[in-house]
Amino acid sequence: MLKLSFKPWAAGYDYVRSHSNICKMAARNGYGSQNSVAHLDPLKGTVLRDSMGGERGKDLSRDDLVFLLSIMEGELQARDEVITVLKAEKMDLALLEAQYGFVTTGEVLRALQRDSLQDQASEAQQQDVYEKPMAELDRLVETGNQSYRRMLEQLLQVERSHSCALCRLEEQDQQHRAFMQRSDDLTCLLEQDRERSVTLTDR
């Protein structure tokens, strides 16, 4: 995990140093020449290099291969760290503003100043409870009375809302009954009309 104290130049330095070590290792074993060709010996697990002139070069042992692999792994890790730091430096300011609410240092200082003023005001208003216990008790009782009055007001509002809901339901019930009565009357009239029509038809 990348720490906040990570310096981009440190990762770049590691990247360059590991790349330089690989180059030195390759040059020491003759991998920088254009006339050398590498072959893998499957039995010994070493790399054999033949030059174009037919001369046999020095073999790379398994330890050398492991060393080269570790250097390449360190190079890849340093490259990933450099990429991460560069991405963090190029982070969109809009994302920072959406996450924290401000981006510039001036807004940060103003927010800190505002918070400090609020803290000073709250500390000035606070008093020691043990110095004036009766005053604190009276204040607590007054706060309880205010809460009680607010609760009564809320209960009254709920009761009024409940009464209004009951009135609306009663009115809807009466309307439904009236509608059903009219429907029954209409059904009776239609039935009588049908019977009258049947009687006239039979005659």
For 49-88, the pLDDT digits (tens) are 444 444 444 577 888 888 888 888 988 988 988 888 877 7
List b or e across 3-14, with b for residues whose CB sees 16 or more CB atoms inside 10 angstroms: eeeeeeeebbeb
pLDDT surpasses 80 at 155: yes
* Torsion angle (degrees, nearest 10) of CA 42, 45, 51, 53: -50
For residue 60, the model assigns a pLDDT of: 77
For residue 6, the model assigns a pLDDT of: 42
The residue extents of the domains of the chain are 8-90, 99-125, 130-189
Torsion over CA: 135, 138, 142, 144 (sign): positive
For residue 49, the model assigns a pLDDT of: 47
**Residue entry with tokens 């009239």:** 189
Mean pLDDT (whole number) for 191-196: 89
For residue 134, the model assigns a pLDDT of: 80
Mean pLDDT (whole number) for 151-161: 92
Structure tokens at 133: 């216990």
For residue 71, the one-letter residue type is I
Averaged confidence pLDDT in the chain: 71
Say which range, 80-89, 111-120, 125-134, has the weakest mean pLDDT.
125-134
In angstroms, the Cα distances linking 65 to 2, 40, 47, 69, 70 are 29, 12, 9, 6, 9
Mean pLDDT (whole number) for 181-203: 88
Please report which residue ranges of the chain form alpha helices under DSSP H: 8-28, 62-89, 93-100, 105-125, 133-202
Structure tokens at 112: 């800190």
Pairing of strands 46-51, 36-41: antiparallel
Whole-model pTM: value is: 0.30
Choose the most confident range, by mean pLDDT, from 22-36, 117-131, 157-171.
157-171
One DSSP character per residue, 48-74 reads EEEETTS-B-PPB-HHHHHHHHHHHHH
| Between residues 146 and 46, the one the model is more confident about | 146
Choose the most confident range, by mean pLDDT, from 20-29, 107-116, 162-171.
162-171
